[in-house]
Structure 1
Amino acid sequence: MLDIAEELDRWVEEGRDFAVATVVAVGGSAPRRPGAALAVDTDGTAIGSVSGGCVEGAVYDLCREALTDGRTVLERFGYSDDDAFAVGLTCGGVIDVLVTPVRAGDPVRAVAAAALAVAAAGGTAALARIVNGPADLVGRALLVHPDGRYEGGHDGGLGGRPELDRTVAAEAGALLDAGRTGTVEIGAQGSRCGVPLTVLVESSVPPPRMIVFGAIDFASALVRVGKFLGHHVTVCDARPVFATRARFPEADEIVVDWPHRYLERTEVDARTVLCVLTHDAKFDVPLLRLALRLPVAYVGAMGSRRTHLDRNERLRDVGVTELELARLRSPIGLDLGARTPEETALSIAAEIVAARRGGTGVPLTGAHTPIHHDHPTRRTAHISSVA
Structure 2
Amino acid sequence: MKEIVEIVAAYDRAVKEGKKAALATVVLVEGSAYRRAGARMLITEDGQLTGAISGGCLEGDALRKARMVILQQEPLLVTYDTMDDDDAKLGVGLGCNGIIHILIEPIYDSLQNPINYLKAIVRNKGNAVLATLFSVDDRKGPQPGTCLCLTSDAILQSCVLSDAIYKDALVTDVECAIKNGQSETSTYADGTIFTGFVEYVKPMVSLVIIGAGNDAIPLTKIAAVLGWDITVVDGRPNYALQERFPLANRVVVSKPGNILSQIELTASTAFVLMTHNYNYEIELLKELMPLGLSYIGILGPKKKLVRMLAEIEDNGVQITSAQLASIYGPVGLDIGSEGSEEIALSIVAEIKAVLSSREGYSLKYKPTPIHAELDKAVAGK
TM above 0.5, yes or no, is: yes
Aligned-residue offset at 1:51: 0.5
Aligned-residue offset at 1:303: 1.0
| Equivalent residue, structure 1, for 2:214 | 217
Unaligned runs of 5+ in 2: none
1:37 matches 2:40? yes
| Equivalent residue, structure 2, for 1:275 | 272
Contact 2:28 2:197 in 1 (8 A): no
Residue identity opposite 1:339 in structure 2 = E
| Partners of 1:115 and 1:123 in 2: CA distance | 13
The structure 1 residue matched to 2:26, chosen from 14, 23, 28, is 23
Report the count of equivalent residues.
371
Q: Secondary structure at the match of 2:248?
A: coil
Task: Trace 1:139-178 onto structure 2 (pairs within 5 A).
Answer: 139-144=144-149, 146=151, 147-152=153-158, 156-158=159-161, 160-161=163-164, 164-169=166-171, 171-172=173-174, 175=177
| Equivalent residue, structure 1, for 2:59 | 56
| Partners of 1:85 and 1:123 in 2: CA distance | 43
Aligned-residue offset at 1:307: 1.6
Q: Indicate the percent of aligned positions where both proteins have the same amino acid.
A: 26
Q: Secondary structure at the match of 2:251?
A: strand
| Equivalent residue, structure 2, for 1:284 | 281
The structure 2 residue matched to 1:244, chosen from 234, 238, 241, is 241
Task: Trace 1:45-84 onto structure 2 (pairs within 5 A).
Answer: 46-67=49-70, 70=74, 72-80=76-84
Structure-2-length-normalised TM-score: 0.78
Contact 1:23 1:95 in 2 (8 A): no
The structure 2 residue matched to 1:94, chosen from 94, 98, 121, is 98
Aligned-residue offset at 1:193: 5.8
| Equivalent residue, structure 2, for 1:185 | 186
| Partners of 1:4 and 1:192 in 2: CA distance | 32
| Partners of 1:339 and 1:46 in 2: CA distance | 37
Aligned-residue offset at 1:196: 6.5
Distance 1:230-1:287 versus aligned 2 partners, 3 A rule: same
Aligned-residue offset at 1:169: 4.2
Aligned-residue offset at 1:111: 2.5
Aligned-residue offset at 1:335: 1.8
1:331 matches 2:333? no
Aligned-residue offset at 1:304: 0.9
Aligned-residue offset at 1:241: 3.8
| Partners of 1:246 and 1:19 in 2: CA distance | 37
Aligned-residue offset at 1:234: 1.0
Q: Secondary structure at the match of 2:113?
A: helix
Deviates more, 1:19-28 or 1:344-353: 19-28
Structure-1-length-normalised TM-score: 0.77
Contact 1:148 1:170 in 2 (8 A): no
RMSD: 4.0
| Partners of 2:218 and 2:162 in 1: CA distance | 51
Contact 1:211 1:235 in 2 (8 A): yes
Unaligned runs of 5+ in 1: none
| Partners of 2:342 and 2:190 in 1: CA distance | 55
| Equivalent residue, structure 1, for 2:196 | 198
Deviates more, 1:231-240 or 1:325-334: 231-240
| Equivalent residue, structure 1, for 2:297 | 300
Deviates more, 1:110-119 or 1:343-352: 110-119
| Equivalent residue, structure 2, for 1:233 | 230
